[in-house]
Amino acid sequence: MESIEETLEKNKAQKEFYNSKKKNLPTRIWSFIREKGLKGIRKDLGILEQSYALHKKWLGDLSQKKVLDLGCYAGNALSFYLAENSQSYTGIDLSEKGIERLNSIIAHIPTAEAKAIDFFSEEFEEGSFDVIYAYGVLHHFKNVDNLIKRLDEKLAPNGIIVSYDPLKTSYPIWLLRALYRPFQSDAAWEYPFGRKTLQKLGTAFTIKESRGVLGKAKWYFLYQLLPFSKAKKIAWGKKAHQKDWQRSATSRKHLLTCMQLNLLLQKK
């Protein structure tokens, strides 16, 4: 099992990767598919918009909340919202380049700051956060036990975690990831959630709510190849997404068919 010291050392390589953005050819191809393909699908079907709205609902009234925006780089879709509406906001990321950009964006907010620091570093002493927002971040840690312990240490009593991460529990996606992984330049810090990770998170925290996306809707990219009108294709995709959205809230079986996961956790 990876130790904290090994994680800190690995994060130095991750920091360099995100500062330089140097990717090998397979990783560039996958990034293109992910950004142009999946991002386009999520936009067409309203997945991102609905997920962000759900996150805001989960976050609730932030006016008296101390917020940590974990792994925020130069700011995610809700970073500015968190900084502007919370009692205090701290954004952290490994990348100095990203943090410099974020600080320039939130410079006018006296209760907000961003730091280039490792979440596991002893230098990151601040804690008692009411909210930890982790958009596309938690799956970067190989040792889930260490991650859970650190998250629990940083949360205030009854504090919450709002996250969005990829899943590998759908067999077609698991196979695709397995074929790609040997060629992936950022494989050392990419660990999509599996069944064991979900079980550990559910044991350590109270899962208040979860919503999976791109279950049935992941086949929208194939449906687009059929000789139907654009409107009909989008209508099918949106219907499939809403089915995923509703069923994943109550059915673990359906949740595990999804590619990505919205998760609301609370400290026990």
Residue 32 confidence (pLDDT) above 90: no
pLDDT interval class at 185 (50, 70, 90): low
Residue 18 confidence (pLDDT) above 80: no
Top pLDDT among 240 and 13 is at 240
Report the percent of the chain where pLDDT is more than 70. Answer: 90
DSSP the chain: ---HHHHHHHHHHHHHHHHH----HHHHHHHHIIIIIIHHHHHHTTHHHHHHHHHHHHH---TT-EEEEET-TT--TTHHHHHHHSSEEEEEES-HHHHHHHHHHHTT-TTEEEEE--TTSTT-----EEEEEEET-GGG-S-HHHHHHHHHHHEEEEEEEEEEEEB--SHHHHHHHHHHGGG-TTGGG---B-HHHHHHHHHHEEEEEEEEESSGGGGHHHHTTSSS-HHHHHHHHHHHHHHHHHHTTT-HHHHTT-SEEEEEEEE-
pLDDT interval class at 10 (50, 70, 90): confident
Query: Which domains does the chain show, CATH number per domain?
Result: 4-267 (3.40.50.150)
Number of Cβ within a 10 Å radius of residue 118: 17
Task: Identify the pLDDT of residue 11.
Answer: 86
d(CA 160, CA 129): 9
pLDDT tens track for 100-135? 999 999 999 999 999 999 999 999 999 999 999 999
Cα 84 to the center of its chain, rounded Å: 21
Q: Counting beta carbons within 10 angstroms of the beta carbon of residue 167, is it exposed (0 to 12), middle (13 to 18) or buried (19 or more)?
A: buried
CB 156 within 8 A of CB 68: no
Across-strand partners of 254?
Answer: none
Work out the mean pLDDT of the chain and round it to a whole number: 91
Top pLDDT among 35 and 216 is at 216
Across-strand partners of 70?
Answer: 92
pLDDT interval class at 240 (50, 70, 90): very high
Task: Identify the pLDDT of residue 13.
Answer: 82
